A and B are shown apart, each in its own frame.
Chain A
């Protein structure tokens, strides 16, 4: 057992990486799915063990190949990445049972093994970003996860999936290249790539223009991956046209990992409040406010439920950006909380919408009239997810918005408080629009005969929906971990 425990952090990345090509060559049928399911389940358990170990025994430092850092690559796990890794692996493990039926319907049978292989590669990349303590390694994993997600998005049934994947690829590559430029510039000033080592050496050269330029490149590059307003243009199309399972997974994890990376860069790589001396935090507040207001209004006018939720995601990322922008311990805690809670609510909502797509074949507003009565369980999950999105007390969404408002009040940022409340009201409007179409509009004749979605779709949806309620009532775990993570990031000294 101790042998396994010692390599925990590496296994989390290596298992999906090795499993991906194996899954790709498995015969058609349900075997590739079963293989991927096994891998994600194992990863979720490992990530859980990792978080437990970090919380109880402190930071894990794993030296790849026995090369001591800063020469070798180091995986350095503290409360922040253990938390994010658990979210990623957990969501993957809940998504996979759901994937069986959805993928059978949306992906041609001969492509299914490749689909699961790409899915595992994407998981490997996302977990890799959270695990590694080497900034160039981050770039490599960023590209592993991005390349596989471009391929996954392009598998959507409509031809627009191809153009969305292309658009995502171009913007994603620009983002990654910006990141690479920034890493090169700070490497030229410090001669190191290890994040802990960078944190020690960078303060000595903080005055150099090269370091400032590198910082700007990295922040903009990560912001592109994060879909921070106004760099979000790839997101609505990619989420709308991707296969259902891909949308669920990317919406719940990809932007979250990018947000984690942003926090790392702002607080760990550039320590001693370097970012406070730059206009970064002001820009975060401005773009957060713009995202909340503009993307929410866009969401209201969408005719496609998936697209509506995609715009709502842009708005929710705005809340997280706002949290970071307050540059306080409370703000970072709120951003991390929202990172977790938003993964739960968007996961549940996209799953429920996926169940509708499974039955109806589309999720345009005028095709789903009256379905709430025909599919009560799916509809129930949409209501819970929607309430959480609005931030009604008793749901997870309330907790993160509460902390966000506390963070805003702490700094007497009245405009931000008003914007957070206005954003919630706008969310009421677009969630209401979905519920109106699903429940209050009379069902068309074609929809009259529809039945509830299969159990295999409903159960994962409800797991996420119920966790929205659970984490809305029991905040001990999430708030505790988020506060600790904010502490680790050094945001408390701000």
Chain B
């Protein structure tokens, strides 16, 4: 029981990761795929933040009376990864807009149909 509850954030990570990954693979709607991709990426952010926690540690800000801090490095890494994620999402959405203009649809199977009916 303690394994389950004590690591609850890792279970959240695994759940989100699989949900996102499944959405990317399974959904035919291009925007839903991007949402899935985002959930998938966010799960990794939570993974990094969970790793950085130090037992009984405070936020990594220097202040008298506090000796134990969480590791700030993963926080910084994840800030970078968030920026990368935002850029990816923006680019993906821009592509979806262009696809909608070119095909008139954002459903994967309809796009395939239109390409093959040429």
- Interface of A with B (CB < 8 Å)? 136, 139-140, 143, 147, 150-151, 154, 159-160, 162-163, 165-166, 169-170, 173-174, 176-177, 180-181, 184, 187-188
Contact = CB atoms under 8 A, between A and B. Distances in A.
A163 B95 CA distance: 8
B95 A169 contact: yes
B18 interface: no
Contact of B47 (A151, A162, A184): A184
Contacts of B115: 160, 163
Query: Which 3 interchain pairs have the tightest Cβ spacing?
Result: A159-B102, A188-B51, A143-B84
A184 B111 contact: no
Interface string B53-96: 00000000000000000000010010011001001100110011
Contact of A166 (B81, B84, B95): B95
Interface string B14-41: 0000000100100000100100010011
B37 A170 contact: yes
Contacts of A170: 24, 33, 37, 92
A163 B96 CA distance: 8
A139 B44 CA distance: 13
B115 to A, nearest CB: 6
Contacts of A169: 88, 91-92, 95
A136 B102 CA distance: 37
Interface of A is mostly: helix
Contacts of B7: none
Contacts of A154: 95, 98
A166 B99 contact: yes
Contacts of B92: 166, 169-170
A153 to B, nearest CB: 10
A160 B95 CA distance: 11
Contacts of B11: none
A257 B34 CA distance: 27
Contacts of A159: 99, 102-103
Contacts of A177: 40-41, 44
Given A147-B87, A169-B95, A170-B24, A140 B103 contact: no
A140 B80 contact: yes
Nearest to A188: B51
A399 B48 CA distance: 45
Nearest to A150: B91
B20 to A, nearest CB: 9
B30 A173 contact: no
Contacts of B77: 136
27 contacts: A136-B80, A139-B81, A140-B80, A140-B84, A143-B84, A143-B87, A147-B84, A147-B91, A150-B91, A151-B91, A162-B95, A162-B98, A162-B102, A163-B103, A163-B111, A165-B95, A166-B92, A166-B99, A170-B24, A173-B88, A174-B40, A177-B41, A177-B44, A180-B44, A180-B81, A184-B74, A188-B51
